[in-house]
């Protein structure tokens, strides 16, 4: 059967895109398995880099968005527990110590929670998940707690 005009070109292009999509999906699956293996072996930085590479090629990869969201959330959570423990050890903190503590909280948001929020929200767009929603809600509550949300927005969040 002969396809007149450019029809044949579009059929070939569609087939090429379909095959490339399957190859890309298989490559992503292989990388996900490799990232899991790296993480299991304690090579967390390498696993993180691989998940970031996956998202450069396939931004809608649910698994990588979830992994990176959890990674940044847990790193922030660990750091927050450290600074809270240090701050609680201070008997009658000075204004300078309190200001330093507050600045550290904002740094934790910038370095960890803000990144986690982006990945978790992307994952939630792809697939609804109660755990992920709880994490994004916790990040929003943290933003309010450290004063990154305007007072007018705070009232709407309490409702």
pLDDT tens per residue, range 15-39: 434 434 444 678 899 999 999 999 9
Phi, psi torsion values for 120, nearest 5 degrees: -65, -40
Stated pTM of the model: 0.79
Mean pLDDT, all residues of the chain:
86
3-class SS letters over the chain: CCCCCCHHHHHHHHHHHHHHHHHHHHHHHHHHHHHHHHHHCCCHHHHHHHHHHHHHHCCCCHHHHHHHHHHHHHHHHHHHHHHHHHHHHCCCCCHHHHHHHHHHHHHHHHHHHHHHHHHHHHHHHHCCCHHHHHHHHHHHHHHHHCCCCCHHHHHHHHC
Residues contacting residue 158 through CB under 8 Å, at least 6 positions apart = none
Which pLDDT band holds residue 153 (cuts at 50, 70, 90)? low
pLDDT for residue 26: 81
């Amino acid at each position: 059967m002969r396809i007149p005009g450019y029809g044949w070109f579009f059929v070939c292009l569609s087939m090429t895109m379909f095959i490339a999509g399957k190859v890309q999906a298989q490559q992503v699956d292989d990388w996900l398995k490799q990232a899991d293996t790296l993480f299991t072996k304690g090579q967390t930085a390498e696993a993180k880099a691989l998940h970031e590479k996956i998202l450069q090629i396939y931004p809608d990869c649910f698994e990588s968005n979830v992994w990176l969201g959890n990674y940044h959330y847990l790193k922030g959570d660990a750091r927050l527990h450290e600074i809270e423990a240090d701050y609680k050890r201070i008997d009658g903190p000075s204004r300078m110590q309190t200001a330093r503590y507050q600045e550290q909280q904002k740094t934790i948001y910038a370095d960890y929670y803000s990144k986690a929020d982006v990945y978790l929200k992307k994952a939630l767009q792809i697939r609804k998940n109660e755990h992920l929603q709880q994490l994004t809600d916790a990040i929003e509550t943290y933003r309010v707690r450290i004063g990154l949300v305007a007072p007018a927005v705070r009232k709407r969040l309490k409702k």
